[in-house]
Amino acid sequence: MVARNPAQWQGQNTAGEPWQQALQTVISDGHELLRRLGIDPQALPIDHEQPFPLRVPRAFVARMQAARADDPLLRQVLPLLAEATQQPGFSRDPLAEAAAEPVPGLIHKYHGRVLLIVTGHCAIHCRYCFRRHFPYAARQPSRAEWSRAFDYIRHDASISEVILSGGDPLSAPDRHLAWLIGEIEAIPQVSRLRIHSRLPVVIPTRITAALSALLADSRLLVSLVIHANHARELDDSLAAALAPLRRAGVTLLNQSVLLAGVNDQVEVLSELSERLFAIGVLPYYLHLLDHVAGAAHFAVPEERVQVLQAALLARLPGYLVPRLVREVAHAASKMPVFPPVRP
């Protein structure tokens, strides 16, 4: 098969496309994706029966390399047959989140912070996602049901931060977010708002002028945690989209997941941190893979994790080294993973 340049096959510029339109034209057919990239489908056995199907915006596909079956961006989204193999120790709810949901849509696991599941939808389906087996879309709270969550927050004086999560909270329309944020602002003891979203990375036009204004005008201290795993995900359109948020004083952070075949190399992780900083984003967390069924092929062996971490610390300024953490069910925080001390 002849390798083509993705920018050519695309035949259109997605850079200025409205985000809702980009969401409607995501690629969901594995063979189509491989064909567009000039990769022989015989070379990559795809699972077409996946209950968590392929879903990837074209703006993200445009950053993949043509004719590279091992492309780190492609690997994050392509449902391989390997996912169907059961692996011991990989389960459907590895974090036992179901136990920490006092009212529908609100997860209260850590002191002072609650997480709201704003929507079950995502623009992209990441194969390593620990929420891949959750029926979020089926139980999305209505406005009336959200009032229980707001009451819960109002009655717990210790809660000072509300985190919008999902699914992807920015797949909700701006007017819904404006309503939600308005309700949160009305709770006196809440001082911080955090949004965890992969949408700015995969569809940069999601950062609309209305969204920037909404966050700029909030009385809350706002942070946005984007989610990128590889420097190639961070293109100039993202840099441009984030600029108004920076000017508005929004704190920009990134979280990544350590993934075999995607970013388990010290050069790749360093480049990611440096590129993030160049576009005004600080590395926050580097998560070890959650042991969710279907993601075993992304696991990085423990010894390799330690080698990588020591190499990163030896190479980068401290503020560009993300905190390496793992999620432990029922723990009081995400658990730091420390490198062994070698004097």
Does 198 bind ligand SF4 (CB under 6 A)? Our answer is yes
From the list ligand PLP, ligand SF4, none, partner contacted by residue 131 (C-beta under 5 to 8 A by kind): ligand SF4
What residue type is 328 in one-letter code? V
From the list ligand PLP, ligand SF4, none, partner contacted by residue 125 (C-beta under 5 to 8 A by kind): ligand SF4
Selected range binding ligand SF4 among 19-27, 89-97, 164-172, 290-298, rule: CB under 6 A? 164-172
Cα gap 218→240, rounded to integer Å: 22
Residue with tokens 């199907």: 53
Burial status of residue 171 (CB atoms within 10 A of its CB: 0-12, 13-18, 19 or more): buried
Choose, by CB under 6 A, the member of 113, 148, 232, 297 that binds ligand PLP. 113
From the list ligand PLP, ligand SF4, none, partner contacted by residue 109 (C-beta under 5 to 8 A by kind): ligand PLP
Beta-ladder partners of 196: 225
Helical pair 143-154 and 174-185, crossing angle rounded to 10 deg = 30
Residues forming the annotated binding site?
Answer: 122, 126, 129
User: Smallest gap, in angstroms, from Cβ of residue 110 to ligand PLP?
Assistant: 5
Choose, by CB under 6 A, the member of 115, 228, 238, 272 that binds ligand PLP. 115
Does 161 bind ligand SF4 (CB under 6 A)? Our answer is no
Cα gap 155→159, rounded to integer Å: 9
DSSP of 317-333: -GGGSPEEEE--TT-SS
The contact pattern for ligand PLP, residues 93-112, with x = CB under 6 A and - = no contact, is --------------x-xx--
User: Smallest gap, in angstroms, from Cβ of residue 147 to ligand SF4?
Assistant: 25
Does 125 bind ligand PLP (CB under 6 A)? Our answer is no
Residue 30: asked if its preceding bond is cis (omega within 30°), the reply is: no
Contact set for ligand PLP, span 283-342 (CB under 6 A):
333-334
Does 163 bind ligand PLP (CB under 6 A)? Our answer is yes
Does 192 bind ligand PLP (CB under 6 A)? Our answer is no
Does 9 bind ligand PLP (CB under 6 A)? Our answer is no
Does 75 bind ligand SF4 (CB under 6 A)? Our answer is no
Selected range binding ligand SF4 among 107-115, 160-168, 173-181, 284-292, rule: CB under 6 A? 160-168
From the list ligand PLP, ligand SF4, none, partner contacted by residue 129 (C-beta under 5 to 8 A by kind): ligand SF4
Does 290 bind ligand SF4 (CB under 6 A)? Our answer is no
Q: Please list the alpha-helical segments (H only) found in 248-283.
A: 266-278
Tell me which residue of 137, 204, 206 sits closest to 166, measured CA to CA.
Answer: 137
Residue with tokens 């339109």: 21
Tell me which residue of 284, 136, 286 sits closest to 224, measured CA to CA.
Answer: 284
Contact set for ligand SF4, span 111-140 (CB under 6 A):
122, 124-126, 129, 131
**246 secondary structure, DSSP code:** H
DSSP of 28-41: --HHHHHHHHT--G
CA distances from 267 to 75, 157, 264, 270, 273 (A): 18, 44, 9, 5, 10
By rule CB under 6 A, what count of residues binds ligand SF4? Answer: 11
CA distances from 154 to 119, 122, 166, 332 (A): 22, 29, 21, 22
**220 secondary structure, DSSP code:** S
Residue with tokens 């717990």: 156
User: Smallest gap, in angstroms, from Cβ of residue 8 to ligand PLP?
Assistant: 40
Cα gap 186→307, rounded to integer Å: 47
Nearer to ligand SF4, 8 or 24 (CB): 24
Does 103 bind ligand SF4 (CB under 6 A)? Our answer is no
Chain residues binding ligand SF4 by CB under 6 A are: 122, 124-126, 129, 131, 166-168, 198, 227
Chain residues binding ligand PLP by CB under 6 A are: 107, 109-110, 113, 115, 163, 333-334
